[in-house]
Chain A
Amino acid sequence: EIVMTQSPATLSVSPGERATLSCRASQDVDSNLAWYQQKPGQAPRLLIYGASTRATGIPARFSGSGSGTEFTLTISSLQSEDFALYYCQQYNHWPPVFTFGPGTKVDF
């Protein structure tokens, strides 16, 4: 079973600052990693897939990098609407088991 971990659990930043979120897989998942954003009371929204490809409509300030077991989501200049929970998810394992990380909360 692939276990996903995320750090930090909470990231305190100010608007306009850069935020760097980490995600680690317990086994090599190649580039089969997605990032989602979730705001209170809302459904998750896909941000990044394939470790680095932005989903349709996602602003360029969101970028993803990494492969294998270490991944990073960077928000270059935080906007007020970016304060939310962020989850990574692997989808590499065969047979398919799609595992989410525990999440990183980005707040003030």
Chain B
Amino acid sequence: EVQLVESGGGLVKPGGSLRLSCSASGFTFSYFGMNWVRQAPGKGLEWVSSISSSGSYIRYADSVKGRFTISRDLANNSLSLQMKSLRAEDTGVYYCARAAVAAAGLVGWFDPWGQGTLVTVSS
């Protein structure tokens, strides 16, 4: 069974940093691109960042560019999101989502998704 389990969320002050992790199992991690998508409380989905299967191609939403860094550890089947200079508007549930198909490039539809980890940025 494909599983994605996020961790690392919590309460952080504005300007602070946090590192999210996503542990993947049940599939060949190195074959699939991975993604982070967030959802502010009571709001819709916002794509945050994507990384290709090999890690060589990375994209960010303009809202997080220069503050967030996505990476993957192929040896440990894990995905990370390093978040710096956090703002109140970064508050929300952060989902890890796998590309729906195995490919070398970025695949834009996502399946499955993890259950999410909550990040709260507040003083």
The verdict on B41 contacting chain A, using a C-beta distance below 8 Å, is no
The verdict on A60 contacting chain B, using a C-beta distance below 8 Å, is no
Tell me if A43 and B44 are in contact (CB < 8 A).
Answer: no
Tell me if B108 and A91 are in contact (CB < 8 A).
Answer: yes
Chain B's nearest CB lies how many Å from the CB of A83?
Answer: 18
Which of A43, A89, A91, A101 has the most chain B CB atoms inside 10 A of its CB?
A43
Chain A's nearest CB lies how many Å from the CB of B108?
Answer: 2
1/0 per residue B102-123: CB within 8 Å of A? 0000111111111110000000
CB neighbors of B among A26-71 (8 A): 32, 34, 36, 38, 42-46, 49, 55
Tell me if A100 and B45 are in contact (CB < 8 A).
Answer: yes
Tell me if B95 and A89 are in contact (CB < 8 A).
Answer: no
Residues of chain A contacted by B114 (CB below 8 angstroms): 43
Chief secondary structure at chain B's binding surface: strand
Residues of chain B contacted by A46 (CB below 8 angstroms): 100, 109-112
What is the total number of residues of chain B having a CB less than 8 Å from a CB of chain A? 23
A96 to B62, CA, bound (A): 12
Tell me if A96 and B59 are in contact (CB < 8 A).
Answer: yes
Tell me if A96 and B50 are in contact (CB < 8 A).
Answer: yes
Tell me if A98 and B111 are in contact (CB < 8 A).
Answer: no
Residues of chain A contacted by B44 (CB below 8 angstroms): 87, 100-103
Q: Which residue of A lies closest to B110 (CB)?
A: A46
Q: Could you tell me which A residues sit within 8 Å of B by CB distance? A: 32, 34, 36, 38, 42-46, 49, 55, 87, 89-92, 95-103
Jot down 17 A-B pairs with beta carbons below 8 A, ordered by A: A34-B110, A43-B116, A44-B45, A44-B110, A45-B111, A45-B112, A46-B109, A49-B100, A89-B47, A96-B106, A97-B47, A97-B61, A100-B37, A100-B44, A100-B47, A102-B44, A103-B45
Q: Could you tell me which B residues sit within 8 Å of A by CB distance? A: 35, 37, 44-47, 50, 59, 61, 95, 97, 100, 106-116
Q: Which 6 A-B pairs have the closest CB atoms?
A: A91-B108, A46-B111, A43-B113, A34-B109, A49-B109, A98-B47
